[in-house]
Structure 1
Amino acid sequence: MDASKLRALTDWLIDGGRSAASPSRFMAECCERMVAAGLPLWRIGVFVRTLHPEIYGRNFIWKPGAEVQIGSVDYHILESPDFLTSPLKIAFEQGLEVRARTGDPQNGRFPIVDELRAEGVTDYIALPLPFIAGTINASSWTTRQPGGFTDDQLAALRSLVRPLARVIEIISLNRMAASLLDTYVGNSAGERIMGGQIRRGHTETMNAAIWLSDLRGFTALSDRLPAETIVDILNHYFDCQVTAIKKHGGEVLKYMGDGLLAVFPIDEYVGDERQVCSHVLEAAHESRASVADLQYPIGDAVERFRFGVALHVGRILYGNIGGGNRLDFTCIGPSVNLAARLEKIASRLGRTVVASEGFAGICGGGWSDLGEFPVAGFSKAARVYGLADEKSAA
């Protein structure tokens, strides 16, 4: 092994591997530097847990001469036979290293070792990656060198894993912060917050289509069903909308009980307002169908649901609003207020989808003029439109 190259690699890691522009490039460059220093590596894996409601962790797999493969696993991995019989389980849960030479009868409890033998692997070692915060992640290292890793090579690996864990932790924390912001405030708002828009009053105006929806009969539903059941119903109900909203370029900003506020930015969209509004209407059609199909069994009965959504387009103020150091990244303005009033009118009329005159005028066709209605807080009455294929359920 080349001691000078190992020292240079250690210094590179301590410096944060800054020559690598992305996590995958960091993984590739780190492994390439290890090989150049004399470590006979074959298949290397880094496995890092995430803080995400659906994704348990991410994996990065490197092989010589190939692109780094990046994947993710959900929480079902914890019950899967592959994980339960993997050396990585021991590294994750106990923080212990596990070495397994292929061909050793004692390694029969690790099926992955036999699978790797088919690739010519002679030695395998799982090394924990302890983070400063106390969590333990894991890595796996293999070689096709006859006889496996030497003691000196293993010592070099162990010494490199410590600074490697620090860099991986920093990368993971940055990604975790972005993921949490994406989960709780939305992707666009999360990007703005990560970009430094964190001061109260830091706002910007945006032209957007606005979506404001509500579940019909929610108060009565909450009164007669257990709270746990209501939460589960809301999760299924929101799934019916969020999938369609995200698919068509929208971003959910806020859940307000059974209400949902979403925006479809026009200024940032590659296209024009007609395209955006057309996508919003498609999302409304898909959500209407999904909510209509939603069935929730309760005892011997099956609950069915109805909702209403108001669509409008206009300027909004988008940014940080709140008191003290407790802020909310949201949108406000007359356009949002009008959308809220239109949703109440939709409920009164027994309509599922209604639109303002502005939205219906941009996204023409398929609308029925429902008339003018006084709007609380607005000096002028608002003309409201409903889908032509929908009859009032009032």
Structure 2
Amino acid sequence: MNAPNIESVTPQSGDDVVAWLTNETRDERFIDNIFAELCVRLQQTGIPLKRATMNLLIQHPQWLGARIIWGDGKREAEITRVDYEVRERSEYIGSPVYEIHQGAGEVRERLERAPGRTHALFDEMRAQGLTDYVAWPLLHTLGKRHVVTFATDRSGGFDDADIAELRKVLPVLALVSEIRMKNRLARTLLETYVGTHAGEMILAGATRRGSGTTVRAAIMICDLRDFTRISDSWPRDDVIDLLNDYFDAMSEPIARHGGEILKFIGDGLLAIFPLSDPRACANLLHAVSEARQAMAALSEKNSMMGRAPMNYGIGVHVGDVMYGNIGSRSRLDFTVIGPAVNMASRLEALTKQLGRNVLLSRAFADLVSHDFALEHVGEHSVRGFSEPIELFAYRG
């Protein structure tokens, strides 16, 4: 993200700041850049800002929120992520952000005066020499409440005129921040549910049924063994935890090595490694090696709890696939289809029959170097294909 061009900032009044925020930020994609420049502009109107934050609740599978922090003299704001567990910690409970989330319309603390609030945040600000602090809700649509805060180190704190000027920017800042958050939310949800590359294609306009492209890729299909038995005999919550642990073990190495998971299918997953990356096939095998290690650790953990080790099968093939939108007129799935996908699925099914965790086609094996430990396991008939397929097991 580029820092705001603060050298050219010369507003004369709070009205100039509101006009800038309303009319001149539409080409800036990132709310942290807008917030940093806003703080500089507010300073240049004479408001003695020393520190400011935005506390945003976001819809993300890993993070509850994000905190944007600006400090005097900084060209950029700092962004930190906030985990879901923060709601149970003292840093949040009783804090100004907590009070705003609980419905407060304003939290003001004259830090020079005693006695004052004893929350750790106020103690920290007093130690930094700050003299006054105010927090307000940023009201988004459908009752969403976020928080913006401002603090100063001027003796005597903010005066009434400062507070009035800061209040002026709140409605516009709420609108500007909501637009950026909705844009980021759309991207996050697409990345979460269809993957980064597919999400980018959808945002770029690939939303019509049948739209897509032909991609040459290594295809990986993985399936958990004995899941029906597990789901019938384990408590429901334990089954969900097991699936999540299993998908973490498989998915994180895939993402780390440049693969893209297109979907989870019950207890299985489908991933591709596009051959536009010359290292794609090697990357897939590195991902499989790391996934194996993670699965071994997970099985050891389950064994300590008196549960059987987890077994799985992985089928790998390479070929051309159609990558795009398939489905009904009103419900689409962004996926890959083609004979190469069917072959990977058949190889995964053969892993159980042949007693191997990972089976690779000859077409895939020919694209990897001899550095990988591949074991030839002969030719085998594959359901749906007329000719036997030469297969290799991966021992790495």
Report the equivalent of 1:384. 391
Label 1:25 to 1:226 Cα distance change in 2 as closer, same or farther (>3 A). same
Q: Cα distance, 1:257 vs. partner?
A: 0.8
CA RMSD between the two structures: 1.9
1:212 to 202, 212, 221: 221
Given that residues 93 and 136 in structure 1 are in contact (C-alpha distance below 8 angstroms), is that contact kept between their aligned partners in structure 2? no
TM-score (norm 2): 0.92
1:174 to 175, 180, 183: 183
The number of equivalent residue pairs is 383
Correspondence 1:337 to 2:342: yes
State the AA in 2 paired with 1:56: L
Report the equivalent of 1:117. 126
Q: Cα distance, 1:189 vs. partner?
A: 1.0
1:302-349, Cα deviation, whole Å (9 max, x unpaired): 231011111122211111111021111111111111100111111211
Within-5 A mapping of 1:263-302: 263-267=272-276, 269=277, 272=278, 275-295=279-299, 297=302, 301-302=306-307
2:202 to 193, 196, 207: 193
Measured in 2, the distance between the counterparts of 1:292 and 1:384 equals 24
Label 1:300 to 1:58 Cα distance change in 2 as closer, same or farther (>3 A). closer
Given that residues 220 and 314 in structure 2 are in contact (C-alpha distance below 8 angstroms), is that contact kept between their aligned partners in structure 1? yes
Measured in 2, the distance between the counterparts of 1:70 and 1:311 equals 40
Report the equivalent of 2:43. 35
Measured in 1, the distance between the counterparts of 2:231 and 2:247 equals 16
Judge which range, 277-286 or 107-116, deviates more: 107-116
Which secondary structure state, in structure 2, belongs to the residue aligned with residue 20 of structure 1? coil
1:107-158, Cα deviation, whole Å (9 max, x unpaired): 2333212211222211000111010221100011001121000111101111
Report the equivalent of 1:165. 174
Given that residues 214 and 321 in structure 2 are in contact (C-alpha distance below 8 angstroms), is that contact kept between their aligned partners in structure 1? yes
Measured in 2, the distance between the counterparts of 1:22 and 1:297 equals 44
Report the equivalent of 1:92. 101
State the AA in 1 paired with 2:73: G
Measured in 1, the distance between the counterparts of 2:124 and 2:356 equals 59
Measured in 1, the distance between the counterparts of 2:297 and 2:304 equals 19
Q: Cα distance, 1:279 vs. partner?
A: 1.1
Mark the runs of 5 or more structure 1 residues left unpaired by the alignment: 390-394
Report the equivalent of 2:317. 312
Measured in 1, the distance between the counterparts of 2:126 and 2:377 equals 71
Judge which range, 331-340 or 373-382, deviates more: 373-382
Which secondary structure state, in structure 2, belongs to the residue aligned with residue 244 of structure 1? helix
State the AA in 2 paired with 1:166: L
Mark the runs of 5 or more structure 2 residues left unpaired by the alignment: 1-9
Correspondence 1:253 to 2:262: yes
TM-score (norm 1): 0.93
Label 1:388 to 1:130 Cα distance change in 2 as closer, same or farther (>3 A). closer
Within-5 A mapping of 1:43-54: 43-54=51-62
Measured in 1, the distance between the counterparts of 2:102 and 2:311 equals 46
Given that residues 29 and 180 in structure 2 are in contact (C-alpha distance below 8 angstroms), is that contact kept between their aligned partners in structure 1? no
Label 1:368 to 1:297 Cα distance change in 2 as closer, same or farther (>3 A). closer
Q: Cα distance, 1:229 vs. partner?
A: 2.2
Label 1:3 to 1:297 Cα distance change in 2 as closer, same or farther (>3 A). closer
Q: Cα distance, 1:46 vs. partner?
A: 0.4
